[in-house]
Chain A
Amino acid sequence: MKHLRPINRKAERIDQAASMTEEDVVALQQQPDKPKPHVPMGCSLAFFPGWEVDAGGGTAGLCQPVERDIYDCYVTCFWPVQVADHVNYSPDWASNCAIATKDWRKLDLVFP
């Protein structure tokens, strides 16, 4: 960051906040025993491709039907692309649907 300098008041505040932070910004792929980076809130940093197949490339490892498992994924950001994010932007997504397997048509729509 030495080659950048703030040119307005907001940038000045950001610069001050960054200088007070002990951790550096590091790549997520670095070793787990390295210092942990600050990461923004939300599910966007997790990437689990596919809702239709399990970790082995088949379907035996999925809940049957998959709607049984949709809510716990909704809470824990396990399928961040396919399922809404409860803790950040869609707390009411399941408000009208007590049982996903039976009532999935009542799930709310999420618009970007």
Chain B
Amino acid sequence: MKTLWQGLIASVCATVAALGPAHAGTMFLGGYPSQLMVIDEAKGSVTQEVDLKTGLPMSMRLSDDGKLLYATTITTSGIEVMDVASRKIVNSFSLNTPAVRYRFTGGVADRSGRYFYILGTRIDKGVDAYRISKQQFMVVDLQEKKVVRAIDLDPEDQKFGSRGALMLSPDGKTLYAFRDKIIVVNTADLKTVDHFDLSKPDFPGMQDVSFGGGVGRLQTPGQFVSLFETEDPYIHNRIFGIARLDLDTRQFSFTPIGPSPKALSGLEVSPDGKNGYTVAVNGDLGSQRCEFWRFDLDKNKALDKAEFQCRRRFYFGISGNGQKLYIYGAGFDVAVYDAKTLKPQGAWELTHDITMSGMVITR
């Protein structure tokens, strides 16, 4: 009887192991030179590669309903739309022409799937030089496959680089650009109507991947939750905390947690919305130290932290079931950590070097 029980237990264990962790998802990562890698989170390996005709992927964004994946590429300033279920590219085009080029690092589609908002610059080839425009908000018509509207950012917003993630309110009336300040834009005329003086944590070399991962899985529709930093105007003491932005009403709440480290990554959120994770970086070069920080998002407080071995440059993500934390890039592998214990679990070797396009996970 003991043998039978042992056999049954072994059989059940083998079945569970074969199925992988509960609710493990599918991960999408950009790969050099022009691929999207499809990775099975349960197996930790690449199961499919999707070629992008317009070149090297620099950003990915899931549609609100999770059915389409929008990728932007830098080689020819392209936009590619993939059907997540079939992994087929359903729309692919380049904005560049022989006389005009565009530079942008990402964007967001409206709910109709017709228009794609980007923040970037336009370069016109002149008789003697290339003329580079000021930074502009642009609207791309995904059916006509061209920029149909563009307007310069306000002069005070031109000083910051053109990088900055974009969010769109559920009603499509308001566009948010997250940079040194949050710029609030009316989509009807692309005019800036407001600013928030909170900067999103980020540091050179760490891409803001929270938009592709955590934000896409936030549980409250129409609300953006992330880590933000703010600074008082007198002694310039920087503190970080958790902020919630209602995308429809533009109401902003900020709960401070503590003094800012040298750098923080974005916030990754577990599927139940209870736990948030970030990476804090202190020191530089040979003395650089990295820590995972875990937060209770109900009480807006820090729970736990653990040091891990830094890479010089890396991006941070969370698994679809919230049980694993990922450190990936620069390079071809993904380091996996347990989200509960914050201890390393191993590494996955992929088939391509990972681009700066961030990580998207579907379940």
- Please pick, from A18, A39, A63, A99, the residue contacting B132 in the complex, using a CB distance under 8 A: A39
Q: Which residues of A contact B74 (CB under 8 A)?
A: 75, 86-87
Q: Which residues of A contact B56 (CB under 8 A)?
A: 75, 86
Binary per-residue interface labels of chain B (57-81) against chain A in the complex, 1 for a CB within 8 Å, 0 otherwise: 0100000000000000011000000
- Please pick, from B286, B330, B355, the residue contacting A56 in the complex, using a CB distance under 8 A: B286
Instruction: Establish whether residues B127 and A10, one from each chain, have CB atoms under 8 Å apart when the complex forms.
Output: yes
Q: CB within 8 Å of B: which of A15-32?
A: 17-18, 21, 32
Instruction: Establish whether residues A17 and B127, one from each chain, have CB atoms under 8 Å apart when the complex forms.
Output: yes
- Please pick, from B33, B129, B284, B332, the residue contacting A40 in the complex, using a CB distance under 8 A: B129
Instruction: Establish whether residues B352 and A32, one from each chain, have CB atoms under 8 Å apart when the complex forms.
Output: no
User: A68-B330, A69-B313 known; A60 and B126 CB under 8 Å?
Assistant: no
- Please pick, from A21, A72, A86, the residue contacting B313 in the complex, using a CB distance under 8 A: A72
Q: Quick check: is B159 within 8 A (CB to CB) of the other chain?
A: yes
User: A98-B351, A100-B353 known; A14 and B312 CB under 8 Å?
Assistant: no
Q: Which residues of A contact B331 (CB under 8 A)?
A: 63, 68-69, 101
Q: Which residues of B contact A99 (CB under 8 A)?
A: 32, 332, 351-353
Instruction: Establish whether residues A13 and B127, one from each chain, have CB atoms under 8 Å apart when the complex forms.
Output: yes
> In the docked arrangement, what's the CA distance between A86 and B56, Å?
9
- How many residues does chain B have at the interface if contact means C-beta atoms less than 8 Å apart? 36
Q: Which residues of B contact A39 (CB under 8 A)?
A: 132
> In the docked arrangement, what's the CA distance between A18 and B331, Å?
44
- Please pick, from B32, B55, B131, B132, the residue contacting A71 in the complex, using a CB distance under 8 A: B32
- How many residues does chain A have at the interface if contact means C-beta atoms less than 8 Å apart? 39
Q: Which residues of A contact B195 (CB under 8 A)?
A: none
Q: Which residues of A contact B158 (CB under 8 A)?
A: 36
Instruction: Establish whether residues B128 and A60, one from each chain, have CB atoms under 8 Å apart when the complex forms.
Output: no
> In the docked arrangement, what's the CA distance between A99 and B159, Å?
36
* A-B residue pairs in contact (CB < 8 Å), sample of 30: A13-B127, A17-B127, A36-B158, A40-B129, A41-B123, A41-B130, A41-B132, A56-B285, A56-B286, A58-B285, A61-B284, A63-B311, A63-B330, A69-B312, A69-B330, A69-B331, A72-B355, A75-B58, A75-B355, A75-B356, A91-B55, A98-B31, A98-B32, A98-B33, A98-B35, A98-B351, A98-B352, A99-B332, A99-B352, A101-B331
- Interface residue ranges, A against B (CB under 8 Å): 10, 13-14, 17-18, 21, 32-33, 36, 38-41, 54-56, 58, 60-64, 68-69, 71-72, 75, 86-87, 91-92, 94-95, 97-102
